[in-house]
Amino acid sequence: MLKEGQIVAAEGEEVEELDSTAAGEGEGETTVGEIGSSIIQQTEPPSIPVSKFFPDSKYPEGEICEYKNEMRYDDYNDLRRAAEVRKYAQKAIKPGMTMIEICEMIENGTRTLVEENGLEAGIGFPTGCSLNNCAAHYTPNAGDPTVLQYDDVCKIDFGTHVNGNVYSRIVDCAFTLTFNPVYDPLKEAVKDATNTGVRGYVREDGECSHYAKRHDVDQSTFRIKKAKALLNSISKHFGTLPFCRRYLDRVGETKYALALKHLVDSGVVESYPPLVDIKGSYTAQFEHTIILRPTCKEVVSSGDDY
């Protein structure tokens, strides 16, 4: 049996015999013998390179200390589950549909596919369906009559989450739909820009539809009585996940416009107005969600189409 610190030399490797006569008695002694093949033992003080003890260059690992908040398999899987919804979002959208029909189709599909369960799984934020010069943050409010046209450039931007309210993990992806091939170069240019991180400039304009409750402000006192009740409803149904007016309608809220404005003015709820370019222009949008894993990056929302 080998003693601690001894190794068997690799087959065919010459083992240099070290002169130990210069060392004091019991010090610097090197054992060289035959146990099936040559063995060596480190001297004291050391005189043999560490690589001689590991001829295959595989050194023993030290103590592995896991990161306290490192994402585990379940967390990765939650994100992948949420990302599966993207594959079904663009198949049924056609000119002639109202924007409300498009958004509700995507959102109802999301609720089914991720098995919506309160704040544990469901829609990550309101579905955006921004048209033409509007680049982002447009979703139709109740009664919006806008209809998708053949010559429109429509940006579908939607999010899904599994445990997203707890861990702030939302899968966000966006793609651009056109039916007139004249816009294909625009889509390809923006798709390339997405892959290289190029950003443009847009401004806020139009009727606001996107909102989200802030978690870092005082929420104790309000001048309008209904504001407190509305905030409680927002906390119950959405937490800090983004929502839109249609979602308030869906959970039974009515006559909330003044209370919602008060929450925004008080800084308790953040508003996200549509982002637009100059009138008459056309914008396109593509987005992906990326997991930065320890040894690689995973584009979790990527698919065969983009």
Query: What integer pLDDT is reported at residue 148 of this predicted model?
Result: 96
Q: Is the pLDDT of residue 71 over 60?
A: no
Contact 282, 183 (CB under 8 A): yes
End-to-end Cα distance, the chain:
60
Per-residue pLDDT of 195-221, as tens digits, reads 666 455 555 566 777 888 887 776 667
Q: Is the pLDDT of residue 104 over 60?
A: yes
* Low-confidence winner among 50-64, 93-107, 169-183 (lowest mean pLDDT): 50-64
- pLDDT bucket at 295, cuts 50 / 70 / 90: confident
What's the order of all strands across the beta sheet hosting 269-272?
243-244, 210-213, 269-272
Q: Is 36 exposed, middle or buried (0-12, 13-18, 19+ CB in 10 A)?
A: exposed
- pLDDT bucket at 28, cuts 50 / 70 / 90: very low
Query: What integer pLDDT is reported at residue 155 of this predicted model?
Result: 93
* Low-confidence winner among 48-57, 174-183, 228-237 (lowest mean pLDDT): 48-57
Per-residue pLDDT of 262-282, as tens digits, reads 999 888 998 988 888 888 888
Contact 128, 143 (CB under 8 A): no
Q: Is the pLDDT of residue 44 over 70?
A: yes
Name the more confident of 289 and 276: 276
What value does the mean pLDDT of the chain take?
76
Contact 286, 175 (CB under 8 A): yes
Q: Is the pLDDT of residue 7 over 60?
A: no
212 in helix, strand or coil?
strand
For 116-185, give the DSSP string: --TTSEEEEEEEEEEETTEEE---PPTT---B--TT-EEEEEEEEEESHHHH--EEEEEEEEESSGGGHH
Cα–Cα distance measured from residue 131 to residue 112, given in angstroms and rounded to the nearest whole number: 26
Query: What integer pLDDT is reported at residue 124 of this predicted model?
Result: 85
Indicate the Cα dihedral angle 72, 77, 78, 81, nearest 10°.
170
Interior angle at CA 278, CA 274 and CA 282, nearest 5:
85
- pLDDT bucket at 13, cuts 50 / 70 / 90: very low
What's the order of all strands across the beta sheet hosting 275-276?
134-136, 275-276, 203-204
Residues 6+ away with beta carbon under 8 Å from 146: 98, 99, 131, 140
- At 270, which amino acid appears? E
Indicate the pTM of the whole model. Answer: 0.66
Query: What integer pLDDT is reported at residue 3 of this predicted model?
Result: 44
- At 289, which amino acid appears? T
Query: What integer pLDDT is reported at residue 123 of this predicted model?
Result: 86
Provide the 10 A C-beta neighbour count for residue 284: 23
Per-residue pLDDT of 218-236, as tens digits, reads 666 778 889 889 999 999 9
Per-residue pLDDT of 120-130, as tens digits, reads 888 888 999 99
- pLDDT bucket at 144, cuts 50 / 70 / 90: very high
Alpha helices in 197-252 (DSSP H): 225-238, 245-250
Q: How many residues comprise the chain?
A: 306
Tokens of 232: 């409680």
Q: Is the pLDDT of residue 59 over 70?
A: yes
- pLDDT bucket at 68, cuts 50 / 70 / 90: low
191 in helix, strand or coil?
helix
Q: Across residues 86-95, what is the average pLDDT? A: 78
- pLDDT bucket at 23, cuts 50 / 70 / 90: very low
| Residue where the block lists tokens 């109740």 | 142
Q: Across residues 10-21, what is the average pLDDT? A: 43
* Low-confidence winner among 132-146, 155-169, 223-237 (lowest mean pLDDT): 155-169
